[in-house]
Structure 1
Amino acid sequence: MRVVAAMSGGVDSAVAASRMVEAGHEVVGVHLALSQSAATLRESARGCCTIEDAGDARRVADRLGIPFYVWDMAERFREDVVEDFVAEYEAGRTPNPCLRCNERIKFAALLDKALALGFDAVATGHYAQIVDGAQGRELHRAVDPAKDQSYVLGVLTADQLARSFFPLGDTTKPQIREEAAARGFAVAKKPDSHDICFIADGDTKGWLTRRLGEQPGPIVDTDGDVVGQHDGAFAYTVGQRRGLGLKVPREDHAKRYVVDVQPRTNTVVVGTEELLGVDVVVGDHARWCGPPPTGEASYGAQLRAHGEEVPCRASSDGETVTVRLERRVRGVAPGQSVVLYDGTRVVGSATISRAERRAQQS
C-alpha cells in the first residue's frame, strides 16, 4: 500500500514510520506545518511544529530512505482548531483541541489530501490498536494504559479507520524508545510534547485573555451573592478550585469550586464540592467508529483524556447521545467529550452539551 506517515519530529511518529517501511509499504513522510509563525527551537515539552521538529522528522526520513515533504496546513489548523478553541471557551465551554485536531486535521484534511494524491492510507504514532472485526475495522485501546490515546481518536469514523494505521498500539513507550535507539534515531530520547500544542507556555488563561481581552465580572455563590471578581468568565471551567481569588469565605470555610460558567452575563458561579457530581451526560455531534448503537446498552464512559472509565447505560438517536453513569463523576463541563467503550473497543464519541444529576441514585 502507498502510505503517508505523519511525522511530527518526535520518537513515536519516527518509529511508526519505520514500522510501516519494515512492513513493506511504500511510505512517504509528511510533516504538518500547523503554526503560522513557527519557532526555530522548542522551548519546552509543550508546543510542536517548530523548525527543529521539522528537521528532526526529515533526518528520520533520510535515515529510512523515504521521500519527505512538509505540508502547510497552518490556515486550516487556525480555523478548525485554534479559533474553535477560542469560540468554545468564549461560549463557556471547555473544549479538547486534540480531538478537534484529529477529527479535522489529521484524519480529515491530511487523509483527504493523501487520498486525492493517490495514497491508500495514513499512519500516525498514536497509541491505539485497529482490529479486524466481524463488521469491519475496529478501534481499540493500546496495550500500554499509561499512553493509550484511543480517547482522542474516538472522533474517527469507520471510513477513516479503514484507511488508518496505528503501528504502536501493541507496544509500551519504553519499548518504543529502545527501538528508536536501536534504529539510530536521534529523537530516541526526545521529550514527549504535552498539553495544548499552540499554547507553548501552558498559560491557557493568559493566552485566552490576550485573544479576548479582559472582561471583568462577578463571581457569585449559588445564592447569587457576589463573593469575588474575575477578569473574564471565559478563563474558568467547571470543577476549577485554584486561582479563584474569592474575597468572601464561607462561614464553614468549606472549599468552593466553579460549578457553572454563564457567558451571557459574564458570571462565574461557585459552590461546594458535592455540587460537582453528575450522573447524566447528554452530548451532541455524535461520531461512530463503526455501526451506531441501537437502543440502550451497557458501555464504559470516559470523560477525560486520561480519566477513569465509568460503567454506564447509553442510548442515541444518531446525533444526540444520552449517558447514564452508574456513579457520580465530578467536574464534567460542556464542551468536553464523552467516549464510549465496549470492553477495549471504542464505540464512538459525543461533545457534552449538558451534565445533570438524578434526584436519586439507581
Structure 2
Amino acid sequence: MSGGVDSSVAAALLVDSGEKVFGLMLRLWSAGPERPNRCCSPRDVSNARKVAGRLRIPFYVLDAKDEFKNRVVDSFISGYADGLTPNPCLRCNREIRWGLLLEHATKLGATHLATGHYALLRRTNGHYRLYRALDRRKDQSYVLSVLGQKQLTRTLLPLGELDKEKVREIARDLGFVTADRPESQDLCFLGGGDYRTFLAERMEATPGAILDKQGNSLATHSGLENFTIGQRKGIGISGPEPLYVIDKDVKRNALIVGPRAELGRTHFTVRELNWVSGSPPSGETPLTVQVRYRTPAVSAQLETFQDRTEVVVEKPLTHIAPGQAAVFYDKDECLGGGLISR
C-alpha cells in the first residue's frame, strides 16, 4: 500500500472477494524532511493506515530506506554519471517491491503480493503471462517487464481490467480518503523536485563541448547529466533550425547535437535481457518494441549474436536512450525486455 487510490482499491477488491489480506507499506529514502518521498510521506502513511482501518485489515510499515538508497537511488546517480538515462522504477520493482517487500511479506505469512499496477496476468499451461491493462492510458506492463515466473506466480494485479475513473469511483463509494489523491509523474524520491536539481546537489558538474556530428564545436554544456537523447529545450544554442541531443560522448565529455533529421535510429543494442516466460520468443513471433514508458510500440526484429543482442526497427525512433528499457510485445502480451546500451 502506498497511500494512493490504486493500492487502496486493490486491497478492497481482494477483501471483497474473500481473501485474507494485510497491508504492507514501504518507507523509502527521501532527499530530506522538506522533500518527502511521494510514495510514503507521513500523510501517505496516515492515509494508508486509514484505508486499512476501514477494511479491517492489519497494516504494517517496512523500513526500506537504506536498501532503496543503495540499490535504486545510488544506481540512478551513477547511471547519469556514466552518461545513461536510467529508469529507477525498473530496478525498484525487481529488487525492492518483488525482492525485499515480497520476502518480508512471506515472513508475515503472505502467499501472494498484490499491487495497484495496471496490467493483466493470465495463466496458460502452468505459466503466467503478462499483458497490457485494458485501460491502455494507464498500462504499466512496461515497468513490470523485469519480472519472471518466480515473481509472477506469487503476484496478483486486481486493477488490470479497470479504468482509472472506475477505480476512483470504487474508492469514493467506500469512503476512502485516497479517492481523489492527485497523481504524480515524478520519480518518487525527488519529492516533487526536478531531477537536474537533485543530481546537481550530488554530482560535481563537468562542463564540456557541444559538438555537431562533424565534430565542430558549437558551445559549452553544463554537464552531460543535464541532458537526454531527443531533448530539444535547454541546449542553449539558437540557429536556423531546432537542435536536438543526438548522443552523449562520455569519454570526451561531449554533447552531440543536430537537427531532427539526424536524431532517428533504426537499430540499437540491448543488455540484461529478461523474458517473462523464461525463454526468448521464437524467431517467427511478430514483435513490437517500446523504448520509453509513454512512447508507442513499433514493429521490431531481434538479431542475436554471440556477444550481444541487437534490435532493428522499421522506422527511425527519436528517443532511443541508453539506460532506458526496450520492452517487447506480441500484440498486447509483454514478453520481457532489456536495457538499451548503445
Selected match of 2:277 from 280, 290, 298: 290
1:4-57 CA deviation, whole Å, 9 max, x = no partner? xxx000000000011111122211101100025664897xxx933111100000
* Structure 1 position 266 matched with structure 2 position 225: no
Deviates more, 1:217-226 or 1:71-80: 217-226
Selected match of 1:104 from 95, 105, 111: 95
The aligned amino acid for 2:326 is V
Selected match of 1:348 from 332, 336, 339: 336
* Structure 1 position 25 matched with structure 2 position 19: yes
- SS state at 1:187 partner: coil
CA drift at 1:110: 0.9
| Equivalent residues of 2:171, 2:178 under 8 A apart | yes
Selected match of 1:338 from 289, 304, 326: 326
CA drift at 1:317: 6.8
1:317-332 equivalence runs, <5 A: 320-332=308-320
Instruction: Tell me, in whole angstroms, the C-alpha distance in 1 between the residues paired with 2:210 and 2:32.
Output: 37
- SS state at 1:18 partner: helix
Selected match of 2:51 from 33, 49, 60: 60
Selected match of 2:150 from 136, 139, 159: 159
Gapped runs of 5+ residues in structure 1? 1-6, 355-362
Q: Where does residue 211 of structure 1 map in the other structure?
A: 202
Query: CA, structure 1 residues 183+211, in 2 after alignment: closer, same or farther (shift >3 Å)?
Result: same
TM-score by length of 2: 0.94
Matched-pair identity in %: 39
1:209-257 CA deviation, whole Å, 9 max, x = no partner? 11102222111112222211122112211111100112xx55xx12111
The aligned amino acid for 2:89 is C
Gapped runs of 5+ residues in structure 2? none
What is the aligned length? 341
Q: Where does residue 360 of structure 1 map in the other structure?
A: none
Query: CA, structure 1 residues 64+321, in 2 after alignment: closer, same or farther (shift >3 Å)?
Result: farther
Instruction: Tell me, in whole angstroms, the C-alpha distance in 1 between the residues paired with 2:207 and 2:291.
Output: 30
Q: Where does residue 4 of structure 1 map in the other structure?
A: none
Instruction: Tell me, in whole angstroms, the C-alpha distance in 2 between the residues paired with 1:116 and 1:298.
Output: 41
Aligned CA RMSD, in angstroms, stands at 1.9
* Structure 1 position 14 matched with structure 2 position 8: yes
- SS state at 1:87 partner: helix
CA drift at 1:75: 0.7
Instruction: Tell me, in whole angstroms, the C-alpha distance in 1 between the residues paired with 2:163 and 2:186.
Output: 20
Instruction: Tell me, in whole angstroms, the C-alpha distance in 2 between the residues paired with 1:216 and 1:235.
Output: 10
Instruction: Tell me, in whole angstroms, the C-alpha distance in 2 between the residues paired with 1:67 and 1:96.
Output: 32
1:1-362 equivalence runs, <5 A: 7-35=1-29, 39=33, 47-246=38-237, 249-250=238-239, 253-293=240-280, 295-296=282-283, 297-316=285-304, 320-354=308-342
TM-score by length of 1: 0.89
| Equivalent residues of 1:234, 1:263 under 8 A apart | no
Query: CA, structure 1 residues 323+61, in 2 after alignment: closer, same or farther (shift >3 Å)?
Result: same
| Equivalent residues of 1:18, 1:64 under 8 A apart | yes
- SS state at 2:168 partner: helix
Runs of 4+ in structure 1 deviating by more than 3 angstroms, as ranges, are 36-42, 315-321
Query: CA, structure 1 residues 144+295, in 2 after alignment: closer, same or farther (shift >3 Å)?
Result: closer
